Amino acid sequence: MENSTALGQDKENQPQGKEGRPWDEMTAAAFQDPEPGLSKTAESQQAPETGPQSRSSPPRSPQPPGNTPPDDLTGSGASPPPSPLQEPSSTPSPLALARQDLAAPWQSDKNASVTPEAGTPHSDYLEPSPDKGDSTPHQTCQSQGNAFQQPQQPNSHLYGPKDVSCNNAEQKKLRFDIFQETDSNSYDNAGEAEPGASEAAPSMLETAIQNAKAYLLQTSSKSGLNLYDHLSNMLTKILDERPENAVDIIENISQDVKIAHFSKKLDTLQNENEMLPTYEIAEMQKALFLQGNLEGADQELEDEIAENSLPNVMESAFYFDQSGVGLGTDETYRIFLALKQLTDTHPIQRCRFWGKIFGLEMNYIVAEVEFREGEDEEEVEEEDVTEERDNGDSEGEEGDEDELPRPSYKAPQAIPKEESRAGANKYVYFVCNEPGRPWVKLPPVTPAQIVIARKIKKFFTGQLDSPIVSYPPFPGNESNYLRAQIARISAGTHVSPLGFYQFVEEEGEEEEEVEGGRDNFEENPDFEGLQVIDLVESLSNWVHHVQHILPQGRCNWYNPIQKSEEEEEEEEEKEEKEEPDYIEEVGPPLLTPISEDLEIQNTPPWTTRLSSNVVPQYAIAVLRSNLWPGAYAFCNGKKFENLYIGWGHKYSPDSYTPPVPPPVCQEYPSGPEITEMDDPTVEEEQVFRAAQEAAVLPDEEDEETEEGEDEEEDYD
């Protein structure tokens, strides 16, 4: 800001100076000037240049007498006494000339040794003199500026220099701003900075500097400090204390400054809770580890029951680890504890770690349990609901026959789901997102859900209540879809070594036994184990111990009485593994070897492997499903376990194709009920009337006439 104003002033001043200033005034001005100029120069720069200084400083006092013309006083008004400073330099050389001595001193200066003090005032004074009062700084600046250029100017002529100086002054207008700011700047800087350079630079350089400074000023999120302040504090400290070898202990100084900096932390309204979820889950999992202690005194009795139901997760995890599958030791252990929590809080007879299904936001850890006798009766209600629905439909159909026809379309009859403990609902599944979080019981699966689930392929989100948006529409939310996928995976991939399970002969009649296929099995007490090598080499040593799910969506055939033929055919097409020969769907019976599983387009459905090729005698057999990637089983001869870790999707070499839209209903065929005859023509009517008259005339004349009238009206 100052600069601009200064410039303006200068411009104004200059012309005046050129035009009309008598030398007197100029000189006077010149005289004025020197004092600031000199003082500065003396301070800052002239120290090195001994020559000029010596000249200038001593003469100060002598000069005033030398030339103090009245002009000076009037013109400058301000400071006659200091002005003399210049004189000394001038006096030696030309003294004789009265006025021109002013100019002369100049040259003498130049010639002598570029004494800034002496020369500058003159040149400056040519212009700025008019504004004596207000702009002393300018003057000083100018003086400095000129001082530099003087050396370049020709020395010889007495008069010449003045003009030149004037020119110079003009040229330097632009420079004033810089000089003003840096009053005491060194000569070198002032001289070097040509107007062009000084103006162009700021755009690039200054922004870079500002960026750097802004970066340094960034406040650290941790300590609330910024580097700029820190550095300045450090430098202040160093300059205050002046330690020896400061560079060596700079780190300590930095540390001291940081320690010394004490900022009171401001209270905010809310607590910082960035890490809260971390603590939350840790708190939950702490409960898992503490649950042993919580039980207290009568623990033993409960333990007897509980121990039976709790699976030895860690042991099977060890074997799975041998085969290169598994969740890592700590997570497995947490799951183990979570299962313990589950078995302690529910009346569970048998429990198993089923596996883990990935979701987009959260994963599911799935536990497969079998309740003891005290099971909950939620499903009864649901069945009632479905029955009610059926009733409602039938009523609607029967209700009114007289008026408009009602839609004759009947929804395909809902196939009832299987009872708990049977078929696909044999086990109950609990899921949780993370060990430590509460277990959620999944609803029993319905055949419709399985049938639809076969046609869609969706990622799980991790929220049990999120809707499944799909075509065809899925009846239920994600918990139902998850349950359906679990049922399908279990049915497909749960296998055991041959002979481990055997059928229960006595209980055969107890459950519904439609095809003669038995669906109950028990552990074979006489199971002696199998050679691991045999398990690896032959797939026929592995058998399914979970019932196959029919295309109908059930494990046991349900005969829907009203079921139409087409529906069945449709379903058969969708079938994955079997070609049913009967109308009644039949799948492979229980305990069928997996060697009879169907191939997936030249891909064998199972891959077997020894866990270690180096030490085969202690290796275990590992079975991997290619149909359900992520499903594994191991057997070490006696023990076996199944585990699924994956996305919950079936493998197919071809890409998923959405099901084709259902066939469009055919319109009613055009027949006698649809088409109408043409209107009767006049001739026909007349013929008809004639015939009627002929027939009826004898009996009733009145009626006939009435009819005739009616007909006539109609024609109109």
Partner 1 sequence: MDADSLLLSLELASGSGQGLSPDRRASLLTSLTLVKRDYRYDRVLFWGRILGLFADYYIAQGLSEDQLAPRKTLYSLNCMEWSLLPPATEEMTVQAAVVKGRFMGDPSHEYEHTELQKVNEGDKVFEEEVVVQVKEETRLVSVIDQIDKAVAVIPRGALFKTPFGPVHVNRTFEGLSLSEAKKLSSYFHFREPVELKNKTLLEKADLDPSLDFMDSLEHDIPKGSWSVQMERGRALVVLRSLLWPGLTFYHAPRTKNCGYIYVGTGEKNIDLPFML
Q: Which run of H or of E encompasses 116? A: helix 116-126
CA-based Rg of the chain, rounded to a whole angstrom? 54
Residue 176 in tokens:
């004033």
Residue 579 in tokens:
């070609």
Compare residues 28 and 633 and give the one whose CB is closer to partner 1: 633
Q: Which run of H or of E encompasses 631? A: strand 631-635
Residue 237 in tokens:
């400290």
Measured from the Cβ of residue 572, the count of other Cβ atoms closer than 10 Å reads 15
Stretch of 139-147, 356-364, 408-416, 580-588 contacting partner 1, by CB under 8 A = 356-364
289 binds partner 1 (CB under 8 A): no
80 binds partner 1 (CB under 8 A): no
CB of 487 to partner 1, least distance (A): 19
Quickly list DSSP for 332-346: HHHHHHHHHHHHHHS
Among 30, 85, 327, 549, binds partner 1 (CB under 8 A): 327
Compare residues 28 and 610 and give the one whose CB is closer to partner 1: 610
What is the footprint of partner 1 within residues 40-59 (CB under 8 A)? none
| 3 state SS of 410 | coil
CB of 620 to partner 1, least distance (A): 10
459 binds partner 1 (CB under 8 A): yes
CB of 572 to partner 1, least distance (A): 24
Stretch of 54-62, 357-365, 515-523, 661-669 contacting partner 1, by CB under 8 A = 357-365
Among 134, 315, 361, 684, binds partner 1 (CB under 8 A): 361
Per-residue contact string for residues 110-149; x = within reach of partner 1 by CB under 8 A: ----------------------------------------
438 binds partner 1 (CB under 8 A): no
- Residue type present at position 18: K
Compare residues 459 and 688 and give the one whose CB is closer to partner 1: 459
Stretch of 120-128, 138-146, 488-496, 607-615 contacting partner 1, by CB under 8 A = 607-615
Instruction: Provide the H-helix boundaries in 447-597.
Output: 447-453, 478-493, 532-537, 565-574
Compare residues 102 and 357 and give the one whose CB is closer to partner 1: 357
What is the footprint of partner 1 within residues 207-266 (CB under 8 A)? none
Quickly list DSSP for 548-592: PPPTTS-SS----TT--HHHHHHHHHH-SS---SSSS---PPTT-
Kindly report each contact of residues 361-364 with a partner whose C-beta sits within 8 Å and lies 24 or more positions away, as own/partner.
Answer: 361/461, 361/462, 361/463, 362/433, 362/434, 362/461, 362/462, 362/463, 363/433, 363/434, 363/462, 364/431, 364/432, 364/433, 364/460, 364/462, 364/482
CB of 458 to partner 1, least distance (A): 5
CB of 434 to partner 1, least distance (A): 8
Compare residues 503 and 651 and give the one whose CB is closer to partner 1: 651
CA distance 705 to 692: 11
503 binds partner 1 (CB under 8 A): no
CA distance 651 to 600: 9
Tell me which residue of 370, 410, 455 sits closest to 563, measured CA to CA: 410
CA distance 161 to 105: 10
CA distance 124 to 13: 11
Compare residues 138 and 624 and give the one whose CB is closer to partner 1: 624
Per-residue contact string for residues 633-672; x = within reach of partner 1 by CB under 8 A: ------------xxx-x-x-xxxx-x--------------
CB of 330 to partner 1, least distance (A): 8
278 binds partner 1 (CB under 8 A): yes
Number of residues that bind partner 1 (CB under 8 A): 54
322 binds partner 1 (CB under 8 A): yes
CA distance 409 to 390: 14
Residue 403 in tokens:
């008026």
Compare residues 192 and 315 and give the one whose CB is closer to partner 1: 315
Which residues lie near partner 1 (CB under 8 A)? 274-275, 277-282, 285, 321-329, 331, 356, 358-363, 434, 457-459, 601-604, 607, 611-615, 624, 626, 629-630, 645-647, 649, 651, 653-656, 658
